[in-house]
Chains A and B, each alone.
Chain A
Amino acid sequence: MSKDLQISPPRLPERFLRWFCSPQLIEDVEGDLSELFAERASHGEFKAKIKYFLDVLLLFRPGIIRNFEIKNGLINTSMLRNYLKSSIRNLLKYKSFSSINIFSLTIGLAACMVIFLFIKDEKSFDAYHEKNIYRICEVQSFPGTNTQKVALSMPGMGPTMTDQFPEIEQYTRFWSWGSQVVRMGDRNFIAEKVVGVDSTFFEIFDFELIQGDKSEVINGPLDAVISKEIALRLFDNIDAVGKRFDIDDDEYVVRGVMENVPENSHLQFDIALSVWASGNEVEAFNNRFGSNFLNTYLILNEEADIEALTAKFPDYMVRVMDNPDINDIYTLFLQPLSEVHLASSDMEHDYNNYRKFNGQYLDVFILVGVFILIIASVNFTNLTTARASYRSKEVGVRKTIGAMRNQLFNQFIFESVLLALIALVFAIVLVIVALPFLNNLIDRQLSIFPFLMDIEFIPIALGITLILGIIAGLYPSIYLSSFKPIVVLKGLKNQEKKSIFRSSLIVLQFSLALGMIVCTLIVVEQLFFIKNKDIGFAKDHIVLIEMNQEMQDNFTQMKEELLGQSNILGVTASGQRLGNNFHQWGFKVRKDTGMLNLTPSNVHVDYDYLDVYDIKLKDGRTFSKEFATDDGLAFIINESFAKELGFENPVGQKAGHGWYPNDSLGTIIGVTEDFNFNSLHYKVNTLSMVVHTEWGYSEMSVKINGKNVEAALAEIDNIYSKYVTDYPLTYEFLDDHFEELYKSDQQMGSVITIIAVLSIFIGCMGLFGLASISIQRRIKEIGIRKVMGASLKELMILLSKGFASMIFIAFVIASPITFVFMSGWLENFAYRVDINPFLFLIGGAVALIIALATISFHVIKAVRANPVSALRYE
C-alpha cells in the first residue's frame, strides 16, 4: 500500500472537481476519491485513472456542483467596477495613445461593418424564393465561334423536360419583351419591363401578390399581372383586378396586382403577361427547339439528384432535337437560383440578370476585412506593450496587495475588450455618417439601420468586437501581468529589449497594407486600360434611342432631318446594341470542297453603321445603297471570322445566312479589323454584319458633337417629338452602357482602394505612436550624441533606419504574394495589362515615404531639441 501512495490521482479531473464541487463537500469527496484511487491503483494504474475520471464526471450533478452565480456575481461586480475605473483613468491619462487605439479599432470595425452590409445586400438576392428553383443554362460550342456559357434556353425545353423527368415538378418560362406602350382610355405610357411567363410563374417564384391568387393569375392568353406602380399609373388605384388595358392591339385583363419587384431580384419586370400573348400556337411552341431566346426555370422535387438528372440531358437532347450529333454543340446544365446573381459572371447572353455581380469578389472583401482588423489590432498590441512601463507600478502594487497573475490578466483583457466596445460604438456612428458617401461611390443603397436591431447582426458585431478585443489584448495582458512586483516597485525599469515580436507585427501590418496598395494600383491600371483601350470603334458621344413603331415607320425621314442638325454628326441603326455578345446563327460559305456551315455572331445594321462607329475596314468596301444586293445579300465580316473561314481572299466569296438556299447566296463585300463588340472579359468573337432594311431596327445610334451635348440632345428631342407622338424621348449613352459591363470590377476596385488607404492610414497611426515611445526612450542618447557632435543627418538616419528596414522586409514578403494573387485576378479579362514590376516599387516607395514622413514628426522634434533640456537632470 505504501508504495502506491506515490501514485497520485490524475491532475485534470482533480482540478475539474475542485472547480465545480461545492466547498462544503470538497474535502471528504476528494478524500473518498483518492482513497478509492489508491485502492484501485494497486490493481492497475491506468484503469484506476480512468475510473477516477468517470467518478468525477458522475459527480458533476446538481447537489454537488457549487452555486456559481451568487458567488461569482458578488466578487466580479466589485472587481469589475475597479477595473472599469482604472481603465477609464488610464484612457484619459494618455489621451493620444487611447485615441490612436480607439481610432484604429473604429476604422477597422467600421470597414468590416460596411463589408458585412455589402455582402448581406448581395446575398439577399433572390433569397426570398422558397422553392427549389433551377435555371436551365447551356454551354454552346458552335462551329466557328468561341465556346460560351449561355443563360438562354429553347421554348420546348421546359415543357418536354417536365414531361420526361419525374424529378422536375414544374417549369416556367420567362420571355423578356422589353418596353411596351400601355394604353388605358386616353392614358398611355411606356412600361419598361414587360415579360411573358407561364401560368406557374407566380407559384414558382414568391413575388408578393397584393391581389389575385398565385395559381390563377396567368391562366388565359390575355391575363396580366401588373405591379403596384403600374396599377397606380393606369388606374390611380391598386384595386385593379378585373380592369382592362391595351398593349398593341390586344386588350388585357388584370388578374393580379403585385408588390413592385424588389431591387434584390435578378428578374425585373413590371407587367407579366402570358407567354401565349405572343400568339404562338401551344403545341408548336411547346415543342419548339433550335433557337434560344428565353429563360427557363424548373422546380425540382426534394429527392432530385442534380448530377443524375444532368447526366440524362445528352440523351434527351438527341431525342427532342432529332440530331445524333447535337451534344457536340450543346451541353445543358442546371444553375441553382442561389447562384444566378453571384456566380454568372462568365455567362453570356444573360439578359435577365439585374445587377449581376461577380461573387468571387465577396470573398476578396471578407479577406480585406480580416486584413484591416489585423492591422488595427496590431496597433493596440504594439502600443500597449511598448508602453508597458507606464503600467508597471500599477501591476506591482496590485500584486503586492494580493492580486493573482490571472486576475491581472483578466483586468488587461477586460480593458482591451472595453476599448473594442467603445470602438464599436464609434464605428456604428462612423458607418451611419459615412454610408451615404460610400453608397454614392459604389452605387448601392446600403443602410445599417435595419441591422441595428437585427438578431443576426448584433451577436456577430459583438462577437467580432469581443474576439478583436481578446486577440489584440492577449499578448499585452500576458506581458503586463508577468511583471515581478519587487523589480517594478524598486523602480528598476524592466529591461526593454528590442522586441522581435513587436517588429514582426509591424512587418505583418505593413505587408498587408503594402500588398493592398499594390493591388489597388494594379486594379486601377487594369480598369484604366479597359476604359481607354482602343476597342476598334468610337463609343463616346453616341446616344442610343430605342426604336418604337412610329420611329420604324419614319426612320428614313427622321434620319435625314437629324443629319441636318448642326450638332449631330451621324445617325445609324442596328438590331442589337454593342457591349455584349451578338446573337449567333448559322452562316454558310461556298468553298471548293463544298458548303461550310459556321455559327458566328450576327448583327444587322444600317448602311452607314461602319462610318458612324468608325469601324475600320481592312479589305473590301462598306455597305452602300448603290448596290441593290447590299440589302440582304452582302456581308461584312471581321478579321477573326475571315481567319476562321480560311480564304486567301475572303472578299467576293459566296456566302449567306444558314437558311439561304445554296443557289441564291450573297457575297462577302468587306473585312473589318477586329473590334470588341463584347466586354473585354471575352475574346473577340467571329462576326458577320448584314443590312436587312425590311427587318426593322431595334435601336437608333446618334453620334453627337461632344462639345455641345446639351444642344445636340435638344435637337434630337425636337425632331423626335415631331415624329413620335405617343411617348416621350428616352435615351442612353453608349459609354454608360459600357461602364455597366465592368461594374463588378469597378466596385471591387473602389472597395479595395478605400481599404488600402485606410490600412496604410491605420498602420501609420500605429507607427506614429511607436516612434514617439521609442524616441522618448532614447532622448538622453540623442542628447549625448548631439553633444559629442553628431550631425542632424546622422541622427535622423539613426532613428529612422529601424522602421525603414521593417518596411523593406514587408515589401519583400508582400510583393510575391501580391503578384500571384493579382495574376489570378487578371485572368478574368481576355484583354489585360501585364503586371508592371514598377508598380511594386511605387507601392513600396509610397509606403516608405508615408511611414518616414509619419515618424519624422517625432524624429525632427527630438533631433532639434536642445540637448541641455534632455541631459540637465542627470
Chain B
Amino acid sequence: MNKYSIGEFEEVVMLTVAVLYENAYGISIKEEIENRLERKVSVGAMRTALNRLEKKGYLDSEFGEATAVRGGKRKRYFKVTPLGKKVLEQVMQTRKQLWDSIPSVAFDFKFG
C-alpha cells in the first residue's frame, strides 16, 4: 500500500497550491479550484484540508503583508514542501502504473 495517503480533494488542493506558486492563499486557491474544476468549494472545507496538509508536513505557510481589502488581516501564503512534492509524485506514479497495466482490450468499446 501507499506510504503517503492523501484524498482526492487534498490532492487537488496541493496541486493548485503548486500551480499558483507565489500567490497561493485562501481565496486564490478556492477560486482557482472553482474555475479549473468547475465545482463549489466552501471556505470551511478548504481550510480544513489546508490545515491537515500542513500538519502532515506536505504544505508550509507564512504570513504576507496586511492589505486594506481584508479588513487589515494578513494573508497566509502556502507552498508545497519537498515532502509534499514527493507525495504528489507518488500519487501520479501509482496512477500511471495503473494506467499502464490496463490491457488495451479493456477500453476497446464496440458500440452497435
A contact residues vs B (CB 8 Å cutoff): 1, 5, 8-9, 25, 27-36, 38, 54-55, 57-64
Contacts and interface: CB of A to CB of B under 8 A. Distances in A.
A64 B44 contact: yes
Contact of B73 (A28, A57, A58, A61): A28
B10 to A, nearest CB: 13
A28 B71 contact: no
Contacts of B52: 63
Contacts of A60: 44
A792 B29 CA distance: 86
16 contacts: A27-B73, A28-B25, A28-B26, A28-B74, A29-B26, A32-B27, A34-B70, A34-B73, A36-B27, A55-B43, A58-B42, A61-B44, A61-B48, A63-B48, A63-B51, A64-B51
B42 A55 contact: yes
A52 to B, nearest CB: 10
Contacts of B25: 28, 32
Interface in B23-37: 25-27, 30
B45 A32 contact: no
B47 interface: yes
Nearest to B76: A28
Contact of A8 (B42, B44, B71, B75): B71
A347 to B, nearest CB: 63
B51 A25 contact: yes
A59 B47 CA distance: 8
B63 interface: yes
Contacts of B45: 58
A62 B43 CA distance: 14
B69 interface: yes
Contacts of B47: 25, 29, 32, 59, 63-64
A57 B43 CA distance: 10
A59 B68 contact: no
Contacts of B30: 32
A35 B43 contact: no
Query: Which 3 residue pairs across A and B have the least CB separation, nearest first?
Result: A31-B73, A58-B44, A32-B26
Interface of B: 25-27, 30, 42-45, 47-48, 51-52, 63, 68-71, 73-76
A27 B26 CA distance: 12
Where chain B touches its partner, the secondary structure class is helix
A751 B45 CA distance: 62
A27 B66 CA distance: 10
Where chain A touches its partner, the secondary structure class is helix
A62 B71 CA distance: 26
Nearest to B64: A28
Most buried by B among A31, A36, A61, A62: A31
Nearest to A33: B43
Most buried by A among B26, B63, B73, B76: B73
Nearest to B51: A63
Contacts of A36: 27, 43
Nearest to A28: B76
A60 B42 CA distance: 12
A58 B41 CA distance: 11
A28 B76 CA distance: 6
Given A55-B42, A58-B42, A35 B51 contact: no
A156 B99 CA distance: 86
Given A8-B71, A34-B69, A54-B42, 9 more contacts: A5-B69, A27-B74, A28-B26, A30-B73, A31-B74, A32-B43, A35-B70, A61-B44, A64-B51
Contacts of B42: 54-55, 58
Most buried by B among A8, A27, A54, A62: A27
Contacts of A54: 42
A452 to B, nearest CB: 47
A489 B18 CA distance: 61
Nearest to B43: A55
Contacts of A28: 25-26, 63, 73-76
B6 to A, nearest CB: 15
Contacts of A32: 25-27, 30, 43, 47, 70, 75
Nearest to B46: A32
Nearest to A24: B51
Contact of A31 (B44, B48, B75): B75
Most buried by A among B45, B63, B69: B69
Contacts of B75: 28, 31-32
A354 to B, nearest CB: 63
B104 to A, nearest CB: 44
A57 B68 CA distance: 25
Most buried by A among B25, B63, B70: B70
Contacts of B44: 55, 57-61, 64
Given A28-B26, A32-B27, A35-B27, A64 B70 contact: no
A29 B43 contact: yes
A9 B25 CA distance: 20
A368 to B, nearest CB: 52
Contacts of B51: 25, 63-64
A8 B71 CA distance: 9
Contacts of A30: 71, 73
A1 B68 CA distance: 11
A32 B43 CA distance: 8
A36 B73 CA distance: 13
Nearest to B29: A32
A469 B45 CA distance: 43
B48 to A, nearest CB: 4
A754 B76 CA distance: 70
Contacts of A63: 47-48, 51-52
A35 B69 CA distance: 6
A747 to B, nearest CB: 61
Contacts of B27: 32, 35-36
Contacts of B69: 1, 5, 34-35, 38
B32 to A, nearest CB: 14
B43 A59 contact: yes
A8 B75 CA distance: 18
Contacts of B71: 8-9, 30-31, 34
Contacts of A8: 71
A162 B84 CA distance: 78
A29 B47 CA distance: 8
A31 B70 contact: yes
Contacts of B48: 61-64
Contacts of A64: 44, 47-48, 51
Contacts of B76: 27-28
A29 B68 CA distance: 15
A417 B48 CA distance: 40
Contacts of B74: 27-28, 31
A31 B27 CA distance: 9
Contacts of A35: 27, 69-70
A264 B75 CA distance: 71
A9 to B, nearest CB: 8
Contact of A58 (B26, B43, B63, B70): B43
A36 B70 CA distance: 9
A866 to B, nearest CB: 68
A12 B71 CA distance: 16
A188 to B, nearest CB: 84
B40 to A, nearest CB: 11
A34 B68 CA distance: 10
A58 B76 CA distance: 20
A54 B43 CA distance: 10
Contacts of A34: 69-71, 73
Nearest to A27: B73
Contacts of B68: 5
A65 to B, nearest CB: 10
A36 B44 CA distance: 13
Contacts of B73: 27-28, 30-31, 34
